[in-house]
């Protein structure tokens, strides 16, 4: 029996760098015309992971010449006050992109906050207006992580037309939008998509059918080698902290895929970290510039 070679690594850092290079050119064109794209991040409470994510987004904006500001609010903020803050940002001409970092405190209805965001500034792509445009094949601002997955498939020339794609996870943030993107007509789409989840019967039988397997279920090491067929392309969206006494931080980051064993069967695989994660921030700044371009064009 031939020994399976190690899967080729899909390098998200490399592709994200190329996207940022293009974004920087677009920012330069806007600034030469007297405009600067602007992103506002609203951070509620003191969740350490949220603070890290927002700080990374702000640093990326600064490097690319995008104006950014972080608006910090206590976890005790009333929902009406948070909605009013978002509405103020809607009216702020310096701001073209608004994101409200999740998770929010339990007393706040995240949907109510999302609905308050002007769809033209909804760079997360979560407003029902943008979700609807995606569903009918007319996407404008697409959720960043799913869009990042599409860009990875594009760069590494992974075919999807007529192929079977299995998405494990049905969240509004990743599972549903990536399924919608891949079932559209056109290049990097035209796939036969199955959305599976924790209650799918005989999940391993479903995942073994996949030409492309996208794991977005939020459980460390959930996808094991027996759930993957040889030559499958595996996209691992998960970012999970597991205890690691040998690490200076006391933990390490792992994906939803048991990387070492799956990499022995898959043809290509994304690592964690360094796979999908960098793409999310790259597409966030890309969406911010796209929003700025559209808003400014509508005023001409």
Q: Which residues are catalytic?
A: 57, 101, 124
Cβ contacts of 2 within 8 Å, gap of 6 or more: none
The arrangement of strands across the sheet holding 97-100 comes to: 67-73, 38-44, 97-100
> Beta 251-254 vs 212-215: how paired, if at all?
unpaired
User: What is the spatial distance between Cα 90 and Cα 104, in angstroms, rounded to a whole number?
Assistant: 20
Residue 205 structure tokens: 């039988």
Q: Taking the alpha carbons of 126, 132, 137, 138 in that order, is the dihedral positive or negative? A: negative
Closest CA to 275 of 159, 152, 147, 170: 152
Q: Check: CB of residue 268 under 8 Å from CB of residue 5.
A: no
Number of helices (H), then strands (E), in the chain:
10, 11
Query: Is the bond preceding 36 in cis, omega lying within 30 degrees of 0?
Result: no
Q: Check: CB of residue 188 under 8 Å from CB of residue 148.
A: no
Q: Check: CB of residue 38 under 8 Å from CB of residue 296.
A: no
């Amino acid at each position: 029996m031939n020994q399976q070679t190690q899967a080729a690594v899909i390098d998200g850092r490399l592709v994200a760098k190329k996207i940022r290079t293009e974004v920087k050119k677009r920012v330069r064109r806007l600034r030469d015309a007297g405009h600067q794209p602007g992103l506002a991040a609203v951070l509620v409470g003191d969740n350490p992971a949220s603070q890290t994510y927002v700080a990374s987004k702000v640093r990326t904006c600064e490097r690319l010449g995008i104006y950014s500001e972080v608006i910090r609010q206590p976890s005790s903020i009333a929902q009406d006050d948070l909605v009013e803050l978002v509405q103020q940002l809607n009216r702020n001409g310096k701001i073209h992109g608004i994101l409200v970092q999740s998770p929010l405190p339990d007393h706040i209805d995240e949907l109510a906050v999302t609905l308050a965001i002007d769809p033209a500034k909804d760079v997360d792509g979560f407003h029902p207006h943008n979700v609807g445009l995606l569903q009918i094949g007319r996407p404008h601002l697409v959720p960043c992580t799913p869009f990042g997955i599409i860009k990875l498939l594009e760069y590494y020339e992974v075919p999807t037309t007529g192929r079977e794609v299995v998405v494990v996870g049905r969240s509004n943030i990743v599972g549903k939008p990536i399924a919608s993107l891949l079932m559209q007509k056109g290049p990097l789409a035209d796939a036969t998509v199955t959305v599976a989840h924790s209650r799918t019967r005989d999940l391993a039988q479903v995942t073994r059918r996949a030409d492309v397997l996208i794991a977005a279920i939020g459980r460390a090491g959930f996808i094991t080698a027996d759930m993957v067929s040889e030559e499958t392309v595996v996209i691992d969206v998960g970012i999970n902290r597991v205890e690691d006494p040998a690490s200076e931080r006391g933990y390490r980051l792992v994906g939803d895929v048991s990387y070492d064993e799956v990499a022995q069967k898959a043809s290509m695989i994304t690592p964690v970290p360094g796979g999908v994660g960098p793409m999310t921030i790259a597409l966030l700044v890309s969406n911010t510039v796209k929003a700025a371009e559209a808003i400014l064009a509508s005023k001409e």
